[in-house]
Amino acid sequence: MNVFRLAGDVSHLVAIIILLVKIWRSKSCAGISGKSQVLFALVFTTRYLDLFTVFISAYNTIMKVVFLAMSYATVYLIYMRFRNMYDSENDTFRVEFLLVPVIGLSFLENYAFTPLEILWTFSIFLEAVAIMPQLFMITKTGEAESITTHYLFFLGLYRALYIANWVWRYHTEEFFDQIAVVSGVVQTIFYCDFFYLYVTRVLRGKAKMILP
């Protein structure tokens, strides 16, 4: 555990809490892609199956359970509790275009051809692209509420900090997880354009982020 990794995990936690609290307090999930949230719940579910097979640390176990619980709570709020506010007309990204290549790739490129390893690889690849329905939705509507952009900012920050964590681990413990690093870098690239808009628009006091 290093400071980048810890800060990355905290950013990830903050992002998920921001989204959950926003939906709960506004009693609305307008502007939120339910599809992205289902994909994230799928990411956590397939990655954290090792909860049943290995014990890494109390921190690891607790964080995994918290992420799982919060991602399912988010999906529940969007599709059950506040489903009449769900903006399905603008959440039209075709997730099968993500799932099919990701499933194929996880069978081709993995560390071991075992069910748990293939599912772990699937979760890593899927996480890299899971935000695309949300970014697609923002592009389609041309705007995002500032709280949604704060959520995306912390999610992107988490990815950037994980890259710093991998650089640190590479130099201090010669750790290099090729699958995680390559897809992590790809994932971070998706946030770059958004980061630019966030800094130039949202942080300068706009209530909404309107796309140029």
Footprint of other proteins on this chain (CB under 8 A)?
5, 9, 12, 47, 50, 53-54, 56-57, 60, 63-64, 67, 111-112, 116-117, 120, 162, 165, 174-180
- Residue 123 has which token pair? 């979760």
Whichever of 60 and 141 has its CB closer to other proteins, that residue is 60
| Number of residues written out for the chain | 212
Q: How far is the CB of 173 from other proteins (least distance, A)?
A: 11
Query: 140: exposed, middle or buried (C-beta count within 10 Å: 0-12, 13-18, 19+)?
Result: middle
Whichever of 54 and 80 has its CB closer to other proteins, that residue is 54
Q: How far is the CB of 117 from other proteins (least distance, A)?
A: 6
Whichever of 30 and 179 has its CB closer to other proteins, that residue is 179
CB 106 within 8 A of CB 49: no
Sign of CA dihedral 180, 182, 183, 187: positive
Q: How far is the CB of 54 from other proteins (least distance, A)?
A: 4
CA-based radius of gyration for the chain: 17
Closest by CA position to 179, among listed 123, 95, 104, 113: 123
Q: How far is the CB of 143 from other proteins (least distance, A)?
A: 32
Whichever of 11 and 149 has its CB closer to other proteins, that residue is 11
